[in-house]
Every structure is written in structure tokens, then in C-alpha cells.
Chain A
């Protein structure tokens, strides 16, 4: 997890396009300036970053589903529940399910588990738009390669 760069996913563990699901792994860093403020003497992974972690995992699912033709941008977060504290060094199991791929938008359900126990979950809405420029599309592909998103996966997963 490159937390200061908002690159929160370390590795895609599984991608099933036919089933509309993805699983990813993300390890919370042991040190970060974020933990100096949140909170002094009691470092906790901020809840908004857990939501962002779920959003990024969902985003990789959406971008894989449309073959990198379009980019999902987070638009709404519903029913977000932060059920347990997450602390530095913990390894997060992130999963998402594509609820619906509409015209210009997508909806997912996502969750994060620690040792098999759900620590947060939410329903997320994305606007799915053309990449604003070629550089962003290229950077997304480079990041996808770094986190082992299976770009060559066939349409049926």
C-alpha cells in the first residue's frame, strides 16, 4: 500500500469477469505520516482510506470489465460501515462484486476482511467515463501491471 500516493492496492488476487467479482490484497504500512496525526500514540487506518481501498478494488473490476476503454470515478458511497479498527501492518483482504454496469455508471458492493472477519463494507457508485487523456490511461495500465491485474483475461473470465 503506497498510502501517501493513494495507491492502496498491492496485488490483485483473483479476477472473475464472468461472475463480476475481484479480490485484492493490501497491507497497511507500519509507518506513515498519516499515523502521526491519526492518531498520536494510537495509529489507526483512517476510515475514509478504507472506503477508498474498497473503491479502488471496485475500480479495477470495472476497468477490467470494460477492457480499459473507460475509467470509473467514485461518485457515491452508500451504507458504509466501519466495523473494526484497522492498524498498521495488517493485511487486508478486499473484495468487490459488480452489482450493475449501466450506461455511463456502475455500482458495486465491496468489503474488507481481516482474518476472515469483515471490518468494513459499502455500496459504491461510479461514473464511468472516457479516459480524460492518454497519459492517465497509460498510467492505469502500468499500475495494473504492477498489481498483477490480469489484463489478458478473456471476456468470460
Chain B
């Protein structure tokens, strides 16, 4: 969990020029860090590459739009880390 978080925090810091120390597991990528959807594509690209996965952004967006999920579930970084760990585990299964 911690290494996954560190990896995505470093990606966000580098991609969006956000001070690394301001990025915590509780940070919401959109609401707290101000990352917009276009910038998040760069982050998704880097995460996909780093972990060898494909973040299901469209599915997540649809779930949020349908009221089946909140953005916190996917964009609070500790939750995003968990989702990534799940995707990595599913890939190796």
C-alpha cells in the first residue's frame, strides 16, 4: 500500500508540478490537489505504465455519474492505491 501510494504521489508531483510533501494518502486528486480531467490522463498514463495495468477510468466515471460510487472511492489517493493494488493482483491471478 505504502509503495503504491509513494509511486502515484511521485507521479502526481512530477506530472502536475505539485510539491510532493503536500500530497498525502488523504488527498483527493480533484478536490484537494486541483487536478483536472485532462491532467489526470497524464497521471493515468504514467500509472498504467508503472503498474502494467489499465485504470478503468470510463467505468469509474460512469459509476460516479450513475450515483453508484463517489469520487472519493477512486480519487482519494489511499483509495486509488487500493484500487491499483486490486488491479495488479487481478492481472497476476
Contacts and interface: CB of A to CB of B under 8 A. Distances in A.
Interface residues of A, number: 11
A132 to B, nearest CB: 16
B41 A105 contact: yes
A147 B58 CA distance: 31
Contacts of B92: none
A125 interface: yes
A99 B38 CA distance: 17
User: Binding site of B, secondary structure by majority: helix, strand, loop or mixed?
Assistant: helix
Interface residues of B, number: 14
B55 to A, nearest CB: 6
Contacts of A107: 45
A76 interface: yes
Interface string B37-66: 010011011001100001111110100000
A40 B4 CA distance: 57
A139 interface: no
B24 to A, nearest CB: 26
Contact of B55 (A102, A125, A127): A102
Interface in A102-131: 102-105, 107, 125, 127
A52 B55 CA distance: 28
B60 to A, nearest CB: 8
Contacts of B44: 102-103, 105
List the 10 closest A-B pairs by CB distance, nearest first.
A103-B57, A104-B58, A103-B58, A105-B41, A103-B56, A104-B57, A100-B45, A102-B44, A102-B48, A103-B54
Given A75-B41, A103-B56, A125-B41, 10 more contacts: A76-B41, A76-B42, A100-B49, A102-B44, A102-B48, A102-B55, A103-B54, A104-B61, A105-B57, A107-B45
30 contacts: A75-B38, A75-B41, A76-B38, A76-B41, A76-B42, A99-B45, A100-B45, A100-B49, A102-B41, A102-B44, A102-B45, A102-B48, A102-B54, A102-B55, A102-B57, A103-B44, A103-B54, A103-B55, A103-B56, A103-B57, A103-B58, A103-B59, A104-B57, A104-B58, A105-B44, A105-B45, A105-B57, A107-B45, A125-B38, A125-B41
